[in-house]
Amino acid sequence: MHSRRLGLVDRQSHDLRDDELLRTLGYKPVLTRRMGPFGNFAISFSVISVLSGCMTLYGFGLNTGGPAVMMWGWIAVGIMVMFVGASLAEVTSAYPTSGALYYMADQLGSKKWGWYTGWLNLLGLLGAIAGIDYGAAQFTGAFANLQWGFQPTPSKTMVIYLCILLLHGLLNLFGVRLVSILNSVSVWWHILGVAVIVGVLWVVPSHHQSASFVFGKFVNDTGWNAHWYVILIGLLLAQYTFSGYDASAHLSEETTGAQINAARGIVRAIAWSWLAGGVLLAGLTFAIQDYAGTQNSDTGVPPAQIFLDALGTGGAKALLLIVIVAQLFCGSAEVAACSRMVFAFSRDGALPGSRWWRQVSDRTRTPVRAVWLSVVVAGVLAAPSLYSPTAYGAVTAINVIGITPAYAIPIYLRLRNRRTFRPGPWSLGSWGPLAGWIAVLWVAFVTVLFLLPQSYPVTAETFNYAPVALAAVLLLATIWWQVAGRRSYETPTYGSARETAELEEEIV
Torsion angle in degrees (nearest 10) through CA of 171, 172, 173, 176: 120
pLDDT of residue 156: 92
Q: How far is CA 140 from CA 136, 236, 240, in A?
A: 6, 24, 21
Q: What is the pLDDT of residue 26?
A: 87
- Mean pLDDT check: name the lowest of 99-103, 320-324, 452-456, 487-491: 452-456
Longest Cα pair distance anywhere in the chain, in angstroms?
Answer: 71
How large is the average pLDDT for residues 177-185?
88
Sequence-ordered list of residues with C-beta below 8 angstroms from that of 463, at least 6 positions apart, any chain: 390, 453
3-state secondary structure of 245: coil
Which has the higher per-residue pLDDT, 155 or 9? 155
* Region label for 426, one of left (φ > 0), alpha (ψ between -120 and 50) or beta (otherwise): beta
Average pLDDT over residues 199-224: 95
Would the pLDDT of 508 be above 50? no
The per-residue pLDDT for 1 is 44
pLDDT score, position 230: 94
Burial class of 25 by CB neighbour count within 10 A (0 to 12, 13 to 18, 19+): buried
Residue type, 393: G
Cα–Cα distance, 21 to 49 (Å, whole number): 31
Segment 376-413, tens digit of pLDDT: 999 988 888 887 766 676 677 777 888 889 999 999 99
Q: How far apart are the first and last CA of the chain?
A: 35
Q: What is the mean pLDDT of residues 309-325?
A: 94
How confident is the model at residue 302, as a pLDDT? Answer: 92
Task: For residues 308-328, give the mean pLDDT.
Answer: 94
Once rounded to an integer, what is the mean pLDDT over residues 125-130? 90
Residue 497 pLDDT: 52
Mean pLDDT of 339-360: 90
The model's pTM is 0.90
**Residue 418: per-residue pLDDT:** 85
Per-residue pLDDT at 78: 97
Residue 493 in this model has a pLDDT that exceeds 60:
yes
* CA atoms within 13 Å, Cβ hemisphere of 105: 23
Question: Is 77 within 8 Å of 242 (Cβ atoms)?
Answer: yes
